[in-house]
Amino acid sequence: MASLEIQLATPADDAALLEFMKTTTLPGEITISMQREPSLFAASSAMGEVHQVFVSRLGAQVVGMAERAERRLYVNGAPAPVGYISGVRVDSAHRGGATLFKGFRFL
């Protein structure tokens, strides 16, 4: 069985990540699919001065992703880079397991 690999995504991963975003929905009374067409990376400057996308794979299959961005904000009255994580998605078959824990440990 393949082991979980987490790495910084590149524009070469764009198509696989866009497909993953389409198929990974937020369940509930209303099912939501958050997408970013035509490119995940094209709008990255809107996320912050620094933008990174991380991808989790089991073999060739994408099973998770997360985004990290930095913006300069005021912290205790002084400008400082502040990072935040968004766009966290885990394939439904891997929710409740170690995928999310390993992803956050990596970040």
pTM of the model: 0.84
As given in the structure block, the two tokens for residue 12 are: 């070469």
Tens of pLDDT, residue by residue over 6-24, are 999 999 999 999 999 999 9
Tens of pLDDT, residue by residue over 89-102, are 999 888 877 777 78
Averaged pLDDT for residues 59-72: 93
Sign of the torsion formed by the C-alpha atoms of 89, 61, 103 and 76: negative
